[in-house]
Amino acid sequence: MVKPRVLVVRAPGTNCDVETAYAFELAGAEPERLHVNQIIDHPRLAERFQILCFPGGFSYGDDIAAGRIAAVQWQTRLNETLNRFRDEDRLVLGICNGFQIMMRLGIFFDAEADRPPATLTWNRQGRFEARWVHLKPESDHCVFLKGISEIYLPMAHAEGRFLMRDALAQQELVDDNQIALRYCGPDGTTGDDELDFPWNPNGAQWNVAGICDRTGRIFGLMPHPERFLFPTNHPNWTRFDSLPESGQGLKLFQNAVAYFG
């Protein structure tokens, strides 16, 4: 099988780059962690990679807003590099803070739109929240979610509440298959109404936990798949009758690798 090369980009405050690179390595890829300044100094470095990943953490301390400074840096210094990943047959993944960066970049949406159709903002309860959540893919349109019917992952964020501009924007995202992942109850129920806490941990509109672009190649989510690579990562693993082969989060990274197989 072809081993795609993965650029795991980090910045001051990023703290999940090692785990994310390890997840891609376990899945069969060849990851490399590079500081964003290395790419700014040598933009052609990015040409070697098939997958770009913005990992979780607190880039630049989340000053101003989560992911804002990192997004401005990419817009002003690396926009051409970003466009190559978006326009060519390559993949882009953003996890937690990485998803926030991608939302600020507008990489999921029409670049010529007057206003973005959605944003990420402070959790409804106005505080950092860390817990495990049940999730359900909306369809198999997203490359990273192929073959996944339900998944259980940890989340840890303060600004992960997904809000859409209006009902029209919501319908367009639904029609374009861009709503990729939603919070659900233990029974797999999502529904059209906002779920109660803790099933919806941040008050996200329509229980949205992750979105993709229209091609399904660019994906961002608030929960952390890289934190559930082994069955013993599960908070209740000692109660299992038998341990599965791997943690549920690994499948997302394996799907990315399989895309190039």
Q: Is there a contact between 216 and 143 (Cβ–Cβ < 8 Å)?
A: yes
* Residue 150 designated active-site: no
Burial of residue 13, with CB atoms counted within 10 A of its CB: 0-12 exposed, 13-18 middle, 19 or more buried: middle
* Residue 224 designated active-site: yes
Which SS3 state, helix, strand or coil, does residue 64 take? coil
Catalytic member of 129, 138, 159, 226: 226
Catalytic member of 134, 157, 224, 234: 224
The CA distance from 160 to 236, in Å, is: 25
Catalytic member of 16, 96, 142, 212: 96
Q: Beta strands 91-95 and 51-54: pairing type?
A: parallel
Minimal CA–CA distance to 235: which of 133, 166, 147? 133
Axis crossing angle, helix 68-77 with helix 79-87, rounded to the nearest 10: 90
The CA distance from 198 to 133, in Å, is: 8
* Residue 159 designated active-site: no
Residues with catalytic roles: 96, 224, 226
